[in-house]
């Protein structure tokens, strides 16, 4: 049973002020007056009565102002993130010189000939989705092409290495409008001393932002499960939670490859417990219950969806969704309405700057910069992990507070705490050093730890 519920914060609403319609102009009553009887005399011609003025029409109420567009949230459990009007506008703004080309960015699971190469051949079984064939035809030249930004054994930092990075070389060589991105399987096996979660997250932000700056729409995929290394396998869900949050922060497509893999035999993996399985001789049998067959299916569908809205100009297929509740102040915190939870914000535009310190968690740090406040309500005892990714120069710290504001824990980047049922707050506050607030962008991730 899920043990989180929507945290409800009731904000007082102002009483609406009624604006009366314009009242009709009053019409005066006319009273006929006659003089006393005398000698008969000709009756004077009656003066014509003035015609009453017509009542003006009531002034109609003005139409409601259109709702300000807002970023789309990426719900957990969805195979593909929504292509809402907001997201579609974003993708079209990125791919200003839209071209029918995509690049691959990744490791051995991406360079394998079992991934996408088969779409260049005739032996593709689209099953119930013949409409995907149009995408295969559009991107025909890209399927068999070897990418300069994908290689076996690579972690995210390898894509960025060198004076001219492999990513920059690939963009310059092929000038794609899309990039299929999946990295993290090798990263998850590195120990904290050499390459940890936050180094990986910083590198993934850099990769995605470099693609966007070059006019390339990244299509980010979650990484598959693994069974060969218990430590690395335990890290996969947190990596995938971050990847969804990264895609949501940048409003780019996200593909959940991980979840449907769990339902396949051996979790869709080959005998090594790392690489996907494949149907012998038929990786493009898109309904077959094998790991590479599944990845080929979800990727051609993602390319089909992106092609429709970016290259073909089709309307957004998905609605705007629900706006995240709360403004981020202490009086109106942002509601953490589901776990896992992800939200990107920027403390240089923080909604408040009123908390100067957290006495119960004081370690001598100066947290006098702007902060953003979140509300978490739990219905049962739960262990949570809150992480804050702040790529680049910003330094945003995370504080877990009781409902009364008492600080329970504080961390530079990550904290894990067993909590009783109840209401809590998270304060994402800006560290100040040498009189300078290290404000900037962050991505907050809140996950429920397994029992």
Tokens coding 402: 């009781």
Helix or strand or coil: residue 1? coil
Q: What is the pLDDT of residue 42?
A: 42
**Bridge partners for 276 per DSSP:** 269
Asked if omega into 60 is within 30° of 0 (cis), the reply is: no
Tokens coding 378: 């739990």
Domains of the chain, each with CATH number or no CATH: 85-311 (3.40.50.1110), 334-448 (2.60.120.380)
3-state secondary structure 165-215: CHHHHHHHHHCCCEEEEECCCCHHHCCCCCCCHHHHHHHHHHHHHHHHHCC
Q: How far is CA 315 from CA 96, 98, 251, 305, in A?
A: 17, 16, 17, 11
Q: For residue range 133-149, list pLDDT tens digits in order.
A: 999 999 999 999 999 99
Task: Reply yes or no on whether the pLDDT at 299 is more than 80.
Answer: yes
Helix or strand or coil: residue 392? coil
Q: For residue range 178-190, list pLDDT tens digits in order.
A: 999 999 999 998 8
Separation of alpha carbons 328 and 335, rounded Å: 9
- Sorting pLDDT into bands at 50, 70 and 90, what band is 451? confident
Q: What is the pLDDT of residue 235?
A: 92
Helix or strand or coil: residue 438? coil
Q: What is the pLDDT of residue 60?
A: 72
In residues, how long is the chain? 451
Q: What is the pLDDT of residue 68?
A: 81
Contact 222, 244 (CB under 8 A): yes
Helix or strand or coil: residue 418? strand
Helix or strand or coil: residue 306? helix
Tokens coding 148: 């300069």
**26-30, 203-207, 310-314 — which is least confidently predicted?**
26-30
Strand order in the sheet with 441-448: 341-346, 441-448, 382-389, 414-419
Tokens coding 421: 């049922």
């Amino acid at each position: 049973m899920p043990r989180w519920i929507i945290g409800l914060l009731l904000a007082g609403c102002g009483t609406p002020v009624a604006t009366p319609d314009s009242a009709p102009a009053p019409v005066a009553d006319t009273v006929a007056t006659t003089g006393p009887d005398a000698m008969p005399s000709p009756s004077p011609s009656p003066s014509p009565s003035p015609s009453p003025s017509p009542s003006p029409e009531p002034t109609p109420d003005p139409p409601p102002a259109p709702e300000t567009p807002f970023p789309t949230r990426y719900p957990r459990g969805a195979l593909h993130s929504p292509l809402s009007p907001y997201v579609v506008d974003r993708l079209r703004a990125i791919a200003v010189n839209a071209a029918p080309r995509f690049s691959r960015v990744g490791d051995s699971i991406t360079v394998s000939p079992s991934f996408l190469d088969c779409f260049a051949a005739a032996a593709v079984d689209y099953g119930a989705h013949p409409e995907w064939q149009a995408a295969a035809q559009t991107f025909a030249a890209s399927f068999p092409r070897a990418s300069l930004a994908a290689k076996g054994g690579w972690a995210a930092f390898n894509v960025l290495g060198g004076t001219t990075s492999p990513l920059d070389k690939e963009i310059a060589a092929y000038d794609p409008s899309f990039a299929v991105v999946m990295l993290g399987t090798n990263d998850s096996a590195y120990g904290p001393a050499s390459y940890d979660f936050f180094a990986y997250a910083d590198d993934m932000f850099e990769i995605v932002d470099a693609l966007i700056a070059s006019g390339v729409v990244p299509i980010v995929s979650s990484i598959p499960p693994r069974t060969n290394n218990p430590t690395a396998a335990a890290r996969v869900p947190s990596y995938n939670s971050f990847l969804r949050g990264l895609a949501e922060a940048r409003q780019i497509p996200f593909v959940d490859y991980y979840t449907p893999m769990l339902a396949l035999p051996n979790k869709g993996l080959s005998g090594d417990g790392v690489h996907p399985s494949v149907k012998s001789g038929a990786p493009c049998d898109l309904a077959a219950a094998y790991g590479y067959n599944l990845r080929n299916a979800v990727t051609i569908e993602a390319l089909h969806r992106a092609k429709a809205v970016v290259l073909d100009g089709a309307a957004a297929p998905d609605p705007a969704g629900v706006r995240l509740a709360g403004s981020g102040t202490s009086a109106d915190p942002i509601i953490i309405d589901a776990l896992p939870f992800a939200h990107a914000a920027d403390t240089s535009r923080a909604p408040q700057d009123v908390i100067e310190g957290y006495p119960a968690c004081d370690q001598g740090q100066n947290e006098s910069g702007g902060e953003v406040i979140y509300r978490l309500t739990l219905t049962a005892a739960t262990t949570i992990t809150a992480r804050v990714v702040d790529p680049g120069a910003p330094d945003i710290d995370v504080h877990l507070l009781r409902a009364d504001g008492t600080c329970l824990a504080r961390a530079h980047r990550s904290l894990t705490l067993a909590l009783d049922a109840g209401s809590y707050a998270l304060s994402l506050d800006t560290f100040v050093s040498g009189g300078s607030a290290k404000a900037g962008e962050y991505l907050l991730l809140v996950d429920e730890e397994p029992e």
